[in-house]
Amino acid sequence: ATASLSESAHRIARQTHAAVERADERLNMSVERISMLAPSALLRADQQLSATTKQLFSRAAAVAQRANDRLDVAAARAAAFDPTLQHARGWSITRRADGTVIRATTEVASGEQLVTSVADGTIISTVTASQTDQPSDSKPLAPTSPSPKE
Q: Please state the pTM of the whole predicted model.
A: 0.42
Q: What residues have CB less than 8 Å from 118, skipping those under 6 apart?
A: 87, 92
pLDDT classification of 84: cutoffs 50, 70, 90: confident
Rounded to whole angstroms, the Cα distance separating 7 from 27 reads: 30
Mean per-residue pLDDT for 95-121? 94
Our measurement of the distance from residue 141's CA atom to the centroid of its chain's CA atoms, rounded to an integer in Å, reads: 56
Nearest-Å Rg of the Cα atoms of the chain is 48
Judge contact between 138 and 119, C-beta under 8 A: no
